[in-house]
């Protein structure tokens, strides 16, 4: 059930819940309690008589993370009937899927660090990391099976989207429009699971079908918007301001949305970016990265990416407009505002 502060109570400072400021005390307390239940179920769910597989599964759970997807699930639930046992199971299953993808991503990316800790593939090896991800997928599926056949169908469709997005990214545009290809990858790899988080929260809190669909679409949009904002931060933020070194994606040869927009222009800036190999190969020379950043910061590509982010924010607000008013909807709106405001 949606929470609200007692009538006539004195407003208090917002409480930080998983990094999100929530002004309503009762809502903050309920969501915090829900996240604690998710955390407990995560640990109980990966228990194994074989201690090694339990240790590898706990590796990223204990490394922390914002628990963004469970947070969205719980907030979506608070727009309707509140945090039930099924909502906690749904939130936990979504987080397990997310964690599983991180183990697999680190293998594909040959990553050595994840969430400030040594990645599983670096600490053990690729095989252990892959099998741990598979183990988490299995337990997520087991949890979802407790929620009924419709939930199983939804999570299966989500698995398919996650894999399709990874395959699409791995294969590359192959003649398709690069920008459309990129946005499809982001929607599938990031947006699809966050959409399921929003959908599950509303669904298992007894929300009306229209509200379930709206919160699912809100989740997909905000997931995509978060990635686009990351793309902007990687280029536009001064060193140290965002906690991320500017040009990280450039160094790794990743063609993000600002890069793709800039390369689409037939001008001197686009030609110079191509000469530098931006978005096509890894760049190890600091001077080349600095030059590319200067070009991109002055380019139309960055402005067009900001406009795309603003359009996504408006679309997300339109979805929220159909959700019952109250503290939970306000918190979801604040989550959207944070996503947009973080680019400065």
Residue 45: predicted pLDDT? 96
Mean pLDDT, the chain, whole residue set: 92
Q: Which CATH number fits domain 23-207: 3.40.50.920, 2.30.110.10, 1.10.760.10, 1.10.600.10?
A: 1.10.600.10
Distance of CA 103 to the CA centre of its chain: 15
Distance of CA 344 to the CA centre of its chain: 19
Global pTM value: 0.92
Say whether pLDDT at 229 is over 80. yes
User: What pLDDT digit, counting tens, does each position of 155-199 carry?
Assistant: 999 999 999 999 999 999 998 999 999 999 999 999 999 999 999
User: CA–CA separation, 11 vs 6, rounded Å?
Assistant: 10
Say whether pLDDT at 249 is over 50. yes
pLDDT band at 242 (very low <50, low <70, confident <90, very high): very low
User: What pLDDT digit, counting tens, does each position of 62-93 carry?
Assistant: 988 889 999 999 999 999 999 999 999 999 99
Q: Which residue has the tokens 């933020």?
A: 237
Residue 344: predicted pLDDT? 66
User: What pLDDT digit, counting tens, does each position of 289-331 carry?
Assistant: 999 999 999 999 999 999 999 999 999 999 999 999 999 999 9
Q: Sketch the domain layout of the chain as residue ranges.
A: 23-207, 233-327
User: For the range 279-282, what are the long-range contacts, defined as Cβ-Cβ under 8 Å and sequence gap of 24 or more?
Assistant: 279/250, 279/253, 279/254, 279/255, 280/253, 280/255, 281/253, 282/251, 282/252, 282/253
Residue 6: predicted pLDDT? 36
User: CA–CA separation, 251 vs 282, rounded Å?
Assistant: 5
Distances in Å between the alpha carbon of 194 and those of 60, 231, 249, 332?
Answer: 19, 18, 23, 13
Say whether pLDDT at 12 is over 80. no
φ, ψ (nearest 5 deg) of residue 116: 80, 0
* CA atoms 44, 46, 48, 52: torsion sign: negative
């Amino acid at each position: 059930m949606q929470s609200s502060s007692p009538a006539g109570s004195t407003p208090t400072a917002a409480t930080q819940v998983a990094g999100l400021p929530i002004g309503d005390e009762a809502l903050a307390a309920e969501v915090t309690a829900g996240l604690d239940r998710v955390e407990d179920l995560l640990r109980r769910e990966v228990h194994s008589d074989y201690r090694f597989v339990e240790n590898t599964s706990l590796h990223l759970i204990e490394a922390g993370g914002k628990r963004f997807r469970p947070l969205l699930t719980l907030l979506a639930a608070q727009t309707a009937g509140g945090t039930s046992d099924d909502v906690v199971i749904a939130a936990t299953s979504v987080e397990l899927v997310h964690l599983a993808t991180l183990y697999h991503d680190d293998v594909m990316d040959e990553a050595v660090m994840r969430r400030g800790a040594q990645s599983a593939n670096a600490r053990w090896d690729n095989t252990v990391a892959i099998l741990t991800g598979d183990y988490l997928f299995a337990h997520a599926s087991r949890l979802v099976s407790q929620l009924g056949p419709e939930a199983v169908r939804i999570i299966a469709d989500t698995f398919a989207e996650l894999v399709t997005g990874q395959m699409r990214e791995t294969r590359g545009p192959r003649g398709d429009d690069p920008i459309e290809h990129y946005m499809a990858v982001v929607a599938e790899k990031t947006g699809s699971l966050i959409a399921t988080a929003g959908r599950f929260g509303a669904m298992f809190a007894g929300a009306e079908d229209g509200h379930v669909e709206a919160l699912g679409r809100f989740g997909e949009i905000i997931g995509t918007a978060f990635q686009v904002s990351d793309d902007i931060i990687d280029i536009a933020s001064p060193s140290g301001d965002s906690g991320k070194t500017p040009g990280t994606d450039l160094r790794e040869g990743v063609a993000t949305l600002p890069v793709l927009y800039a390369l689409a222009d037939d001008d001197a800036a686009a030609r110079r970016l191509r000469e530098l190999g931006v978005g096509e190969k890894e760049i190890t020379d600091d001077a080349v990265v600095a030059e590319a950043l200067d070009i991109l910061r002055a380019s139309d590509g960055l402005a067009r990416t900001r406009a795309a982010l603003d359009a996504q924010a408006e679309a997300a607000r339109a979805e929220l407009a159909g959700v019952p008013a109250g503290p939970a909807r306000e918190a979801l709106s604040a989550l959207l505002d944070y996503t947009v405001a973080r680019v400065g």
